[in-house]
Protein backbone atom coordinates (compact mmCIF):
# COMPACT_ATOMS: atom_id res chain seq x y z
CA UNK A 1 0.00 0.00 0.00
CA UNK A 2 2.87 2.41 0.75
CA UNK A 3 4.35 1.86 -2.72
CA UNK A 4 0.99 2.67 -4.30
CA UNK A 5 0.70 5.92 -2.33
CA UNK A 6 4.23 6.95 -3.32
CA UNK A 7 3.47 6.28 -6.99
CA UNK A 8 0.28 8.37 -6.83
CA UNK A 9 2.07 11.26 -5.12
CA UNK A 10 4.85 11.15 -7.70
CA UNK A 11 2.23 11.30 -10.45
CA UNK A 12 0.61 14.30 -8.74
CA UNK A 13 3.92 16.17 -8.63
CA UNK A 14 4.48 15.43 -12.33
CA UNK A 15 1.02 16.72 -13.28
CA UNK A 16 1.50 19.84 -11.17
CA UNK A 17 4.74 20.62 -13.00
CA UNK A 18 3.01 20.11 -16.36
CA UNK A 19 0.11 22.33 -15.32
CA UNK A 20 2.52 25.13 -14.39
CA UNK A 21 4.12 24.96 -17.85
CA UNK A 22 0.82 24.91 -19.76
CA UNK A 23 -0.58 27.72 -17.60
CA UNK A 24 2.51 29.84 -18.28
CA UNK A 25 2.20 29.17 -22.02
CA UNK A 26 -1.47 30.13 -21.89
CA UNK A 27 -0.71 33.43 -20.16
CA UNK A 28 2.09 34.25 -22.63
CA UNK A 29 -0.20 33.55 -25.59
CA UNK A 30 -3.00 35.61 -24.03
CA UNK A 31 -0.65 38.58 -23.64
CA UNK A 32 0.60 38.35 -27.23
CA UNK A 33 -2.68 37.77 -29.06
CA UNK A 34 -3.77 41.40 -28.62
CA UNK A 35 -0.65 42.68 -30.36
CA UNK A 36 -1.03 40.11 -33.13
CA UNK A 37 -4.62 41.20 -33.74
CA UNK A 38 -3.56 44.83 -33.81
CA UNK A 39 -0.92 44.08 -36.46
CA UNK A 40 -3.52 42.32 -38.62
CA UNK A 41 -5.90 45.27 -38.35
CA UNK A 42 -3.10 47.79 -38.96
CA UNK A 43 -2.16 46.10 -42.25
CA UNK A 44 -5.75 46.27 -43.50
CA UNK A 45 -5.82 49.91 -44.74
CA UNK A 46 -2.65 49.52 -46.81
CA UNK A 47 -3.96 46.29 -48.32
CA UNK A 48 -7.22 47.97 -49.30
CA UNK A 49 -5.47 51.02 -50.77
CA UNK A 50 -3.03 49.04 -52.89
CA UNK A 51 -5.88 46.82 -54.10
CA UNK A 52 -7.83 49.94 -55.06
CA UNK A 53 -4.79 51.29 -56.87
CA UNK A 54 -4.37 48.07 -58.86
CA UNK A 55 -8.09 48.10 -59.73
CA UNK A 56 -7.79 51.71 -60.90
CA UNK A 57 -4.84 50.95 -63.19
CA UNK A 58 -6.51 47.87 -64.64
CA UNK A 59 -9.87 49.56 -65.18
CA UNK A 60 -8.35 52.66 -66.80
CA UNK A 61 -5.78 50.96 -69.02
CA UNK A 62 -8.00 48.83 -71.24
CA UNK A 63 -7.06 45.21 -71.99
CA UNK A 64 -4.30 44.12 -69.63
CA UNK A 65 -1.45 42.02 -70.97
CA UNK A 66 0.96 41.66 -68.09
CA UNK A 67 3.04 38.61 -67.09
CA UNK A 68 1.53 38.63 -63.59
CA UNK A 69 -2.07 38.58 -64.82
CA UNK A 70 -1.72 36.56 -68.02
CA UNK A 71 -3.46 33.19 -67.76
CA UNK A 72 -1.26 30.32 -69.00
CA UNK A 73 -2.64 28.24 -71.83
CA UNK A 74 -1.74 25.07 -69.93
CA UNK A 75 -0.20 24.88 -66.46
CA UNK A 76 2.66 22.46 -66.04
CA UNK A 77 4.19 23.49 -62.71
CA UNK A 78 2.76 25.34 -59.71
CA UNK A 79 4.50 26.76 -56.65
CA UNK A 80 2.76 26.24 -53.30
CA UNK A 81 3.83 28.39 -50.34
CA UNK A 82 2.81 26.80 -47.01
CA UNK A 83 2.78 28.93 -43.85
CA UNK A 84 3.22 26.92 -40.64
CA UNK A 85 4.57 27.64 -37.16
CA UNK A 86 8.10 27.42 -35.81
CA UNK A 87 7.02 26.01 -32.44
CA UNK A 88 4.51 23.47 -31.20
CA UNK A 89 1.94 23.64 -28.38
CA UNK A 90 -0.65 25.07 -30.80
CA UNK A 91 -3.16 22.25 -31.12
CA UNK A 92 -4.14 21.26 -34.63
CA UNK A 93 -2.87 24.47 -36.25
CA UNK A 94 -0.05 22.86 -38.27
CA UNK A 95 -1.94 19.64 -38.98
CA UNK A 96 -4.87 21.55 -40.46
CA UNK A 97 -2.80 23.74 -42.78
CA UNK A 98 -0.62 20.82 -43.92
CA UNK A 99 -3.74 18.76 -44.58
CA UNK A 100 -5.10 21.59 -46.71
CA UNK A 101 -1.79 21.78 -48.58
CA UNK A 102 -1.92 18.06 -49.21
CA UNK A 103 -5.45 18.41 -50.57
CA UNK A 104 -4.26 21.14 -52.94
CA UNK A 105 -1.36 18.95 -54.02
CA UNK A 106 -3.83 16.18 -54.88
CA UNK A 107 -6.06 18.53 -56.88
CA UNK A 108 -3.11 19.90 -58.85
CA UNK A 109 -1.83 16.38 -59.44
CA UNK A 110 -5.18 15.39 -60.93
CA UNK A 111 -4.77 18.25 -63.41
CA UNK A 112 -1.30 16.99 -64.29
CA UNK A 113 0.42 19.94 -62.63
CA UNK A 114 3.74 19.37 -60.90
CA UNK A 115 3.92 20.93 -57.43
CA UNK A 116 6.96 22.92 -56.29
CA UNK A 117 6.70 23.34 -52.52
CA UNK A 118 7.92 26.29 -50.44
CA UNK A 119 7.63 26.21 -46.64
CA UNK A 120 7.74 29.03 -44.13
CA UNK A 121 7.93 27.68 -40.58
CA UNK A 122 10.03 25.00 -38.90
CA UNK A 123 7.10 22.59 -38.52
CA UNK A 124 6.34 22.63 -42.24
CA UNK A 125 10.02 22.19 -43.08
CA UNK A 126 10.30 19.23 -40.69
CA UNK A 127 7.13 17.69 -42.12
CA UNK A 128 8.56 17.70 -45.64
CA UNK A 129 12.00 16.46 -44.56
CA UNK A 130 10.50 13.57 -42.58
CA UNK A 131 8.64 12.44 -45.72
CA UNK A 132 11.69 13.05 -47.95
CA UNK A 133 9.90 15.68 -50.01
CA UNK A 134 11.94 18.36 -51.72
CA UNK A 135 11.51 22.03 -50.90
CA UNK A 136 12.41 24.73 -53.41
CA UNK A 137 12.65 27.28 -50.59
CA UNK A 138 12.38 27.31 -46.82
CA UNK A 139 12.25 30.03 -44.19
CA UNK A 140 12.04 29.70 -40.41
CA UNK A 141 12.24 31.85 -37.30
CA UNK A 142 9.48 34.38 -37.87
CA UNK A 143 6.16 32.56 -37.71
CA UNK A 144 4.82 34.27 -34.57
CA UNK A 145 6.33 37.70 -35.35
CA UNK A 146 6.44 38.18 -39.14
CA UNK A 147 8.54 40.96 -40.61
CA UNK A 148 8.16 42.83 -43.86
CA UNK A 149 11.74 41.97 -44.80
CA UNK A 150 10.96 38.26 -44.58
CA UNK A 151 7.82 38.75 -46.69
CA UNK A 152 9.88 40.70 -49.23
CA UNK A 153 12.45 37.88 -49.33
CA UNK A 154 9.77 35.26 -49.95
CA UNK A 155 8.08 37.41 -52.59
CA UNK A 156 11.36 37.92 -54.45
CA UNK A 157 11.98 34.16 -54.56
CA UNK A 158 8.47 33.41 -55.82
CA UNK A 159 8.45 36.20 -58.42
CA UNK A 160 11.85 35.06 -59.69
CA UNK A 161 10.48 31.55 -60.15
CA UNK A 162 7.31 32.86 -61.78
CA UNK A 163 9.30 34.99 -64.22
CA UNK A 164 11.11 31.94 -65.63
CA UNK A 165 9.61 29.49 -68.07
CA UNK A 166 8.86 25.93 -67.05
CA UNK A 167 11.71 24.76 -69.26
CA UNK A 168 14.04 26.89 -67.14
CA UNK A 169 12.59 25.56 -63.89
CA UNK A 170 9.90 28.21 -63.49
CA UNK A 171 6.24 27.86 -62.56
CA UNK A 172 2.94 28.86 -64.15
CA UNK A 173 0.97 29.42 -60.93
CA UNK A 174 1.65 30.39 -57.33
CA UNK A 175 -0.68 29.25 -54.54
CA UNK A 176 -0.65 30.30 -50.90
CA UNK A 177 -1.80 28.01 -48.07
CA UNK A 178 -2.21 29.68 -44.68
CA UNK A 179 -4.57 29.99 -41.72
CA UNK A 180 -7.10 32.80 -41.82
CA UNK A 181 -7.81 34.53 -38.52
CA UNK A 182 -11.58 34.93 -38.14
CA UNK A 183 -11.89 35.37 -34.38
CA UNK A 184 -10.34 34.17 -31.14
CA UNK A 185 -12.39 30.97 -31.44
CA UNK A 186 -12.30 30.45 -35.20
CA UNK A 187 -9.27 30.04 -37.44
CA UNK A 188 -9.57 28.21 -40.74
CA UNK A 189 -6.96 27.04 -43.27
CA UNK A 190 -7.46 28.55 -46.72
CA UNK A 191 -5.90 28.31 -50.17
CA UNK A 192 -5.43 31.38 -52.35
CA UNK A 193 -4.00 31.63 -55.83
CA UNK A 194 -1.92 34.78 -55.81
CA UNK A 195 -0.43 34.51 -59.31
CA UNK A 196 -1.52 34.98 -61.98
CA UNK A 197 -4.00 37.54 -60.68
CA UNK A 198 -7.61 36.97 -61.59
CA UNK A 199 -9.28 39.93 -63.29
CA UNK A 200 -13.07 39.92 -63.40
CA UNK A 201 -15.04 42.30 -65.56
CA UNK A 202 -18.21 43.45 -63.78
CA UNK A 203 -20.85 46.00 -64.64
CA UNK A 204 -21.68 48.84 -62.28
CA UNK A 205 -19.69 50.41 -59.53
CA UNK A 206 -17.68 48.35 -57.01
CA UNK A 207 -19.01 47.90 -53.50
CA UNK A 208 -16.32 50.27 -52.20
CA UNK A 209 -17.55 53.01 -54.55
CA UNK A 210 -16.46 54.36 -57.93
CA UNK A 211 -12.86 53.94 -58.94
CA UNK A 212 -11.02 57.30 -58.67
CA UNK A 213 -9.73 58.98 -61.79
CA UNK A 214 -5.94 58.88 -61.92
CA UNK A 215 -3.38 60.22 -64.32
CA UNK A 216 -0.61 57.67 -64.79
CA UNK A 217 2.94 58.85 -65.37
CA UNK A 218 4.77 57.78 -67.38
CA UNK A 219 2.11 55.22 -68.44
CA UNK A 220 -0.35 52.72 -66.99
CA UNK A 221 1.73 49.62 -67.89
CA UNK A 222 4.77 51.08 -66.12
CA UNK A 223 2.69 51.85 -63.04
CA UNK A 224 1.27 48.35 -63.15
CA UNK A 225 4.81 46.93 -63.30
CA UNK A 226 5.59 48.74 -60.03
CA UNK A 227 2.28 48.04 -58.28
CA UNK A 228 1.82 44.32 -58.88
CA UNK A 229 5.00 43.16 -57.07
CA UNK A 230 4.01 45.36 -54.11
CA UNK A 231 0.53 43.89 -54.23
CA UNK A 232 1.85 40.32 -54.17
CA UNK A 233 4.25 41.21 -51.35
CA UNK A 234 1.40 42.70 -49.33
CA UNK A 235 -0.78 39.62 -49.88
CA UNK A 236 1.98 37.38 -48.54
CA UNK A 237 2.76 39.69 -45.61
CA UNK A 238 -0.91 39.98 -44.64
CA UNK A 239 -1.23 36.17 -44.80
CA UNK A 240 1.80 35.83 -42.52
CA UNK A 241 0.23 38.24 -40.02
CA UNK A 242 -3.05 36.32 -40.06
CA UNK A 243 -1.18 33.04 -39.62
CA UNK A 244 0.73 34.48 -36.65
CA UNK A 245 -2.49 35.61 -34.97
CA UNK A 246 -4.09 32.23 -35.67
CA UNK A 247 -1.08 30.39 -34.26
CA UNK A 248 -1.14 32.37 -31.00
CA UNK A 249 -4.91 31.98 -30.65
CA UNK A 250 -4.62 28.22 -31.24
CA UNK A 251 -1.78 27.99 -28.72
CA UNK A 252 -3.79 29.85 -26.09
CA UNK A 253 -6.78 27.57 -26.59
CA UNK A 254 -4.67 24.41 -26.61
CA UNK A 255 -2.77 25.39 -23.46
CA UNK A 256 -6.00 26.30 -21.66
CA UNK A 257 -7.44 22.90 -22.55
CA UNK A 258 -4.24 21.20 -21.35
CA UNK A 259 -4.32 23.14 -18.07
CA UNK A 260 -7.97 22.22 -17.49
CA UNK A 261 -7.23 18.55 -18.19
CA UNK A 262 -4.27 18.66 -15.80
CA UNK A 263 -6.45 20.14 -13.06
CA UNK A 264 -9.03 17.40 -13.57
CA UNK A 265 -6.32 14.75 -13.33
CA UNK A 266 -5.01 16.40 -10.16
CA UNK A 267 -8.44 16.14 -8.55
CA UNK A 268 -8.72 12.50 -9.55
CA UNK A 269 -5.25 11.53 -8.31
CA UNK A 270 -5.71 13.56 -5.13
CA UNK A 271 -8.80 11.49 -4.37
CA UNK A 272 -6.85 8.31 -5.15
CA UNK A 273 -4.05 9.46 -2.82
CA UNK A 274 -6.55 10.20 -0.04
CA UNK A 275 -8.15 6.79 -0.49
CA UNK A 276 -4.75 5.10 -0.39
CA UNK A 277 -3.80 7.07 2.74
CA UNK A 278 -7.07 6.21 4.44
CA UNK A 279 -6.54 2.56 3.59
CA UNK A 280 -3.06 2.73 5.16
CA UNK A 281 -4.44 4.36 8.30
CA UNK A 282 -7.20 1.78 8.54
CA UNK A 283 -4.71 -1.03 8.13
CA UNK A 284 -2.40 0.46 10.77
CA UNK A 285 -5.30 0.84 13.23
CA UNK A 286 -6.39 -2.74 12.52
CA UNK A 287 -2.87 -3.99 13.18
CA UNK A 288 -2.65 -2.02 16.45
CA UNK A 289 -6.03 -3.25 17.64
CA UNK A 290 -5.19 -6.80 16.63
CA UNK A 291 -1.88 -6.65 18.43
CA UNK A 292 -3.52 -5.20 21.55
CA UNK A 293 -6.14 -7.93 21.59
CA UNK A 294 -3.53 -10.62 21.15
CA UNK A 295 -1.47 -9.15 24.00
CA UNK A 296 -4.53 -8.98 26.25
CA UNK A 297 -5.40 -12.60 25.47
CA UNK A 298 -1.86 -13.74 26.22
CA UNK A 299 -1.84 -11.91 29.56
CA UNK A 300 -5.23 -13.36 30.48
CA UNK A 301 -4.05 -16.88 29.61
CA UNK A 302 -0.91 -16.58 31.71
CA UNK A 303 -2.98 -15.61 34.76
Say if CB 216 and CB 56 are below 8 A apart. no
Closest CA to 271 of 20, 18, 11, 23: 11
pLDDT at residue 279 in the model? 74
Number of Cβ within 10 Å of residue 154's Cβ equals 23
pLDDT at residue 2 in the model? 65
CA 192 to chain centre: 16
**What are the boundaries of each domain within the chain?**
2-26+256-290, 27-200+209-254
Q: Are strands 77-83 and 114-120 parallel, antiparallel or unpaired?
A: parallel
Within the chain, which residues score under 70 in pLDDT? 1-2, 59-68, 198-214, 300-303
Fold of 2-26+256-290: Helix Hairpins (1.10.287)
Say if CB 196 and CB 72 are below 8 A apart. yes
Fold of 27-200+209-254: Pyruvate Kinase; Chain: A, domain 1 (3.40.1380)
Q: In residues, how long is the chain?
A: 303
Note the pLDDT tens digit of each residue in 238-272: 999 999 999 999 999 989 988 988 888 888 888 87
pLDDT at residue 122 in the model? 92
pLDDT at residue 101 in the model? 93
pTM of the full predicted structure? 0.82
Closest CA to 198 of 45, 53, 66: 66
Amino acid sequence: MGAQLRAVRQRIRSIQSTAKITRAQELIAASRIVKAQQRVRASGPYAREILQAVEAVVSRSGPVDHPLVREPTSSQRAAVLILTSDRGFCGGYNANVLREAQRLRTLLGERGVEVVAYACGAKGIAWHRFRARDLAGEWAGSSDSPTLSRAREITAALLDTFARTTAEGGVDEIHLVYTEFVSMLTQRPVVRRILPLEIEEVEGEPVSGPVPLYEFEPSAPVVLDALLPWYVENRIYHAMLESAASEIAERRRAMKSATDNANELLEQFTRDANKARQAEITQEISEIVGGANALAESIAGSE
